[in-house]
Amino acid sequence: MTSFALAWRTARRYRARTLLAITGVAVIGALLFDMLLLSRGLLLSFADLLHSSGFDIRVVSTEGLAARLPISGSVRLAEDIRQLPDVEHVLMIRIEPATVRAAGQSPRGISLIGSSDAEQSWRIVQGSALGSPAAVAEACPVLVTRPLAAAFSLRPGSALSINVRPPGVASALPAVDCRVVGVAEFAFAQIDELTAVTTLEAFQRAMGGGAADADLVLVTSKPGAPPGRAIAAIARLRPDLRVYSNEDVVAQFNRNGFAYFRQISLVLSSLTMVFAFLLVATLLTVSINQRLGEIAALRALGIGRPRIAAMLLWESVLLVGAGGLLALPIGEALALVLDRILRQMPGIPERMHFFVFEPRALAIHLTLLAVTAATAAAYPVWLTARLPIAETLRREVLG
Amino acid sequence: MAALAALAMAPAALAADPPSILVSRQLAARARVAVGDVVTLAVDAGGARGRQFRVTGIYEPTPDPMRFTADRLEARLHLPDAIDIAADPADPASREAVSALNVKLADARDARFAPDLMARAPGVVARPTARSATDDPFVVLDRFHVAISIVTMVAGTAFLLALMVIRAEERRETVGVLRLVGISRRTLLASVAIEGLVVAALGAAFGILLAYGSEGVVNRVFQARYDTALVFVRVTPSIAVRAIVVAAPLGVLAGIGASWTLLRRDVLAIFHR
């Protein structure tokens, strides 16, 4: 009989404890799997969000993308970037806090976005786009997010008044009368964010009529353009600005915005590993202590130490392997629940997720469980290797 | 005045009676300044509208869980001094402007203040400093940690149950003998329930001691990693009590559950007869 067959018979003989051990490993394995998904989930989700926007280069005037200042001469810069041979598309964006008023409603603070392109980075869910004939006829056409539409009972055709409140500008700017042309979903909008987007021309009027420079220039490189060449060309155009690729932005996010979840994932992964090890090692050890007579008898029948050791290793592999495989669907289900909890956090874009599957996480999960199975079997193997056969059998018979 | 657009800081020659300034520990270390040094602050790195200040103190910034990954390069100065630096000379109104005003209401529950103020002063946004449950990230993190605890507890219960099953099987013959001499199922169940209770309570107590003992190490590691005075882990009495209150009944149930399969059988069946 092979070592695996011996291990299999033991597992079947002690069915209740085997099932309970597999359950324990499955649950703790699910948690380990989820922590591995969490360790890079937000990062992968953020990268996916960046890539899905269609732009691969971001130009700003300050270090980082979080706190932005207007880019002086942004219109000229955008024109110059458009002339570069590796550039396909350029979009200018300006975001400022603003106050919205609608008839019979209390004013609310919102983010107002001015965009040089009517058709980018959002999906119209009701009404028409900023480039539609109805919108072009308006002096200040706006698209609003669903939360803003719900907060003010807005729909296409509704009127609202917007006051821009740029930080650092002491004088109050006059309100601008705008009309809602559509309701849209924005890629980077938070779940409950009140956001409106309008044309850059209307935004300039809201800013008092002067030239309102963009604070972010988004660039799409031509397909097949060598990576980095457009970035280098833009940096040569304006050495005073910061030019970031999507990878740079993700790396910044990884350094600054993601630390907590990376740390908690590391801590919890380590704890679950220790827990799984203790669980399997304790169960195997207690089980071996109960079966010392049986193992001594097997040895007396001529089954060598290596086969007994292999049997114990197979027992460990059966427990951890079955539990580890069950952990995958349980972990996926648990990840949905945990993701729903964490996505209630303020400031998280609606399309971002904390738990994202990647093959790397699965590979690490399986490797860690294999290591756990091997190390958990080490002590019971050592116990049986130094088992005195005759003395153990005598003790068992007398007992 | 909450922030300056840019802050340049460099040791400078002594000016006549410069105003005082406090700098954060992190900024003092980065700029290599000490109490008594005279520094120049300006709105940009080129030194525009630069003014000299004397460092009169170095402070530890109030730990902020929302910003623990950020470099706390901060300085505190009197409002008129900050306005002197930051106000735009071309805009006289900017000397009258601040970015935020903190207000303490006579009645903290007065919900009319913010809407009234915003209606009277267009362009002003008033909001409470206290976070509501819906916009507090720590409420969400708390829910996340509770969910993780529940999962860990389920795994721990399975672990405990497996151990109790092994223990029950080990004592099959002892239980049979005890039943034969007249000890009732109820008494035997009570004994395993007590055993489960003791194992779970001791396990929980050991866990609490372990958490309490490692608390300092965890805090020191993360405080050094992020250069902050923030406390990351704290084992409070309520957490300790909660751990025991949850673990004890689970131990009892595991003990009874594991033994019930043995005790419900006929005495002879226990001896495989």
Q: Which two tokens stand for residue B92?
A: 């006289």
B179 lies in the same domain as B82: no
Which residue in the block uniquely carries the two structure tokens 């500008």?
Answer: A169
Q: Give me the residue from B125, B135, B161 closest to A109, CB to CB.
A: B125
pTM for the structure as a whole: 0.76
Dig out the tokens for A357 from the structure. 């599957």
**B21 and B126 assigned to the same domain:** no
SS3 string, chain B, reads CCCCCCCEEEECCCCCCCCEEEEEHHHHHHHCCCCCCEEEEECCCCCCCCEEEEEEEEECCCCCHHHCCCCCCCEEECHHHHHHHHCCCCCHHHHHCCCCCCCCCCCCCCCCHHHHHHHHCCCCCCCCCCCCCCCCHHHHHHHHHHHHHHHHHHHHHHHHHHHHHHHHHHCHHHHHHHHHCCCCHHHHHHHHHHHHHHHHHHHHHHHHHHHHHHHHHHHHHHHHHHCCCCCCCCCCHHHHHHHHHHHHHHHHHHHHHHHHHHHCCCHHHHCCC
- Whether residues B158 and B120 fall in one domain: no
CA distance A173 to A163: 6
Which two three-digit tokens encode residue A48? Answer: 């996916």
Contact A268 B135 (CB under 8 A): no
Nearest to A99 among B123, B144, B158 (CB): B123
Place of tokens 């958490």: B211
B227 Cβ contact list (under 8 Å, min separation 6): B26, B71, B72
B108 CB-contact burial (10 Å; exposed 0-12 / middle 13-18 / buried 19+)? exposed
Average pLDDT, chain A: 85
CA dihedral A191, A195, A199, A203 (to 10 degrees): -150
Q: Which residue in A210, A136, A203 sits closest to A176, CA to CA? A: A203
Distance of CA A41 to the CA centre of its chain: 3
A24 and B147 in contact by Cβ < 8 A? no
Do residues A112 and A97 make contact, with C-beta atoms less than 8 angstroms apart?
yes
Task: Tell whether B122 and B78 lie within a shared domain.
Answer: no
DSSP, collapsed to helix, strand or coil, labels residue A165 as: coil
CB nearest A31 (choices: B119, B151, B161): B151
Considering the domain architecture, whether residues B143 and B266 belong to the same structural domain is answered as yes
Which of A163, A263, A344 is opposite residue B122, by nearest beta carbon?
A: A163
**Residue B115 sits in which domain range?**
102-130
On whether both B82 and B185 belong to a single domain, the answer is: no
Contact B158 A27 (CB under 8 A): yes
Same domain, B173 and B233: yes
Which residues are registered as beta bridge partners of A186? A122
> Which pLDDT value is given to residue B250?
86
The reported pLDDT for the residue numbered B28 is 93
User: B83 to chain A: nearest residue by CA?
Assistant: A168
The reply to whether B235 and B149 lie within a common domain is yes
Q: Which residues pair with B10 in a beta bridge?
A: B40
Report the distance separating Cα A226 and Cα A230, nearest Å.
8
Interface predicted TM-score (ipTM): 0.76
Q: Is B3 a member of any domain?
A: no
Chain A residue with the nearest C-alpha to that of B138: A345
A391: exposed, middle or buried (C-beta count within 10 Å: 0-12, 13-18, 19+)? exposed
User: What is the pLDDT at residue B133?
Assistant: 66
Q: Test A341 with B143 for CB contact under 8 angstroms.
A: yes
Instruction: Determine whether the interchain pair B91/A170 forms a contact, defined as Cβ–Cβ distance below 8 Å.
Output: yes
Pairwise CA distance, residues B237 & B149, whole Å:
17
pLDDT, residue B22, reads 95
**DSSP H or E run through A318:** helix A305-342
**B162, A24: Cβ pair inside 8 Å?**
yes
What is the enclosing helix (H) or strand (E) of A195? strand A195-199
Q: Do A256 and B70 touch (CB under 8 A)?
A: yes
Cα–Cα distance, B10 to B40 (Å, whole number): 6
Q: Considering B99, B118, B152, which residue would you say is the last residue of a domain?
A: B99
Mutate to test the interface with A, among B151, B210, B233 (most CBs of A within 10 A): B151
Instruction: Provide the residue type at A360 as one letter.
Output: R
Whole-number Å distance between alpha carbons of A109 and A162 = 10
* CA A398 and chain centroid, separation: 62
User: Looking at residue A135, what is its pLDDT?
Assistant: 79
Distance CA A141, CA B156 (A): 59
- pLDDT of the residue at A240: 85
What is the rounded CA–CA span in Å between residue A378 and residue A375? 5
Give, for A4, the enclosing helix (H) or strand (E).
Answer: helix A3-13
Tell me how far CA of residue B264 lies from CA of A16, B184, B195, in angstroms. Answer: 16, 11, 18
- Which pair of structure tokens corresponds to residue A262? 């990376």
Residue B259 is assigned to a structural domain of this protein: yes
Residue B2 in any domain: the answer is no
* One domain, residues B150 and B266: yes
Supply A80's token pair.
């110059």
A164 vs A208: CA distance, rounded Å: 9
- Say if the Cβ atoms of B147 and A337 lie within 8 Å: yes
What pLDDT is attached to residue B13? 52
User: Could you say which of B140, B148, B261 has the minimum Cβ distance to residue A268?
Assistant: B148
Q: What is the pLDDT of residue B58?
A: 95
The 10s digit of each residue's pLDDT in A183-208 is 988 877 777 778 899 988 888 888 87
Q: Specify the 3-state DSSP secondary structure of A48.
A: helix
Count structural domains, chain B.
Answer: 3
Q: How far is B226 from chain A (nearest CA, A)?
A: 10
pLDDT at B2: 39
Residue among B85, B18, B82 at smallest CA distance from B54: B18
Check B169 against A341: CB less than 8 A apart. Answer: no
Domain identity same for B198 and B168 = yes
User: Residue A96 forms beta bridges with which residues?
Assistant: A112
B166 contacts A17? CB cut-off 8 A? yes
For residue A349, give the DSSP letter: B
Q: Cβ atoms within 10 A of the Cβ of A177, count?
A: 11
- The answer on pLDDT for A64 being more than 80 is no
Cα(A185)–Cα(B153) distance, integer angstroms: 40
**Contact between chains at B141 and A167 (C-beta distance less than 8 A):** no
- Looking at the domain assignment, is residue B1 inside a domain? no
Q: How far is B1 from chain A (nearest CA, A)?
A: 10
Tell me how close the Cα of A24 comes to any Cα of chain B, in angstroms. Answer: 5
Nearest CA in chain A to B145: A338
Q: With cut-offs at 50, 70 and 90, classify the pLDDT of residue A39.
A: confident
Helix (H, G, I), strand (E, B) or coil at A59: strand
Alpha carbon dihedral A226, A227, A231, A234, in 10-degree steps, equals 20
Residues B95 and B109 in one domain: no
Query: Min CA distance, B14 vs chain A (Å)?
Result: 31
Neighbours of A351 (CB within 10 A): 16
Instruction: Tell whether the model's pLDDT for residue A91 goes beyond 80.
Output: yes
- Mind listing the pLDDT tens digit for each residue in A145-183? 888 888 888 889 888 888 887 765 555 677 888 999 989
B56 and B112 in a single domain? The answer is: no
Alpha carbon separation from A368 to A320, A324, B156 (Å, rounded): 10, 10, 19
The predicted-structure confidence for A256-304, as pLDDT tens digits, reads as follows 666 777 878 888 888 888 888 888 888 888 888 888 888 888 888 888 8
Q: Is the pLDDT of residue A327 over 90?
A: yes
Low-confidence ranges of chain B (pLDDT < 70): 1-16, 45, 122-123, 133-134, 270-273
Cα of A133 to nearest chain B Cα, Å: 32
